[in-house]
Amino acid sequence: MSNILDLGFSNEDVEVRAMRFFGDELYLLDRISANAEFMVHRGSEEGGLWAQVGANTLETPSDMWVDKDNVYLLVNRADKPGLDCLMLPKTAAPGTAWNACPGFPDVVKDGNEDPYSVFAKFAGDAGDVAAWFEMKGMDEATVALYRRAPDSWPEAGSLPTVKPAAWALDSGVILLGFVGTDAPAVMAGVPLQGGDSGAMRAAATGVLNVSGLPTPKDKFSGVVGICPARGKQFVLFLDYASLNSKLYVYKNL
């Protein structure tokens, strides 16, 4: 099962690859039909008029983030393996070219031995954002974490783990959700501070008390969303079960 949303691939009408709220504004990273270019749209949950933000993205995006000023995209580089970050003001007119994110980490392949990213996601809250990258070419780690600072994106560690299906930042704690029968449901307690990957690995052994969550029955089932809200953590658990799938919501007690 893909982490990215496949919305309506069955008839190729529309795909929503990422969805973010900022207040009442709803932002979608989408494309209309499977062979079209991706776009960012700003609208609302109530309907009404929508507006495109910036130009169509020629590179394939994997995620989008929105803060009080800007929209950020994680996109595949066209010229070499690896991902890059593009940004624009939220109110940018349709057709406006996307700009590179200042200080974004170099996670592209420049040489044969150079580690590079193959997939990435954002997570954060109103004042904090980090990105994890599924990496290739590193000794152990498959997931590398970078947290945005005022003028840079310093590395915040790496995890020798399987790719998470969901993740969130909750007051500085990272929460990772997984699918599959042989992965932990949720891992928590990774402080995204400093760049000590050894510290990251050790902290990641602190597993959140996940009692009460079902045990995944197949490789498609598990935690597909984590929502920190009101001091609690809400977890979306997908019980895939082929054609009879069910999406459950659990909450910390």
Write down the least CB distance from residue 39 to another protein, Å. Answer: 8
Q: Which H or E run contains 197?
A: helix 197-204
Q: Which of residues 73-112 bind another protein (CB under 8 A)?
A: 94
By CB under 8 A, is residue 9 in contact with another protein?
A: yes
207 binds another protein (CB under 8 A): yes
Which residue shows structure tokens 């600072």? 149
State yes or no: residue 181 binds another protein (CB under 8 A): no
Q: Would you mind telling me the total number of residues written for the chain in this entry?
A: 253
Stretch that binds another protein, among 16-24, 73-81, 107-115, 135-143 (CB under 8 A): 16-24
Residue 177 is inside which H or E element, if any?
strand 173-177
223 closest CA partner among 206, 243, 248, 205: 248
245 binds another protein per the rule CB under 8 A: yes
Candidates 55, 153, 188, 216; binder of another protein (CB under 8 A) is 188
**189 belongs to the binding site for another protein (CB under 8 A):** yes
Nearer to another protein, 109 or 220 (CB): 220
Choose among 100, 3, 30, 18: nearest CA to 65: 18
* Under rule CB under 8 A, residue 13 binds another protein: yes
Site for another protein in 37-76 (CB under 8 A): 39, 41, 43, 45, 47, 49-52
**Structure tokens, 128:** 């904090």
Contact criterion met (CB below 8 Å) for 170 and 132? no
Does residue 199 interact with another protein by CB under 8 A?
A: yes
By CB under 8 A, is residue 212 in contact with another protein? yes
What 3-state class would DSSP assign to 43?
Answer: strand
Rg (CA), the chain: 18
CB of 217 to another protein, least distance (A): 15
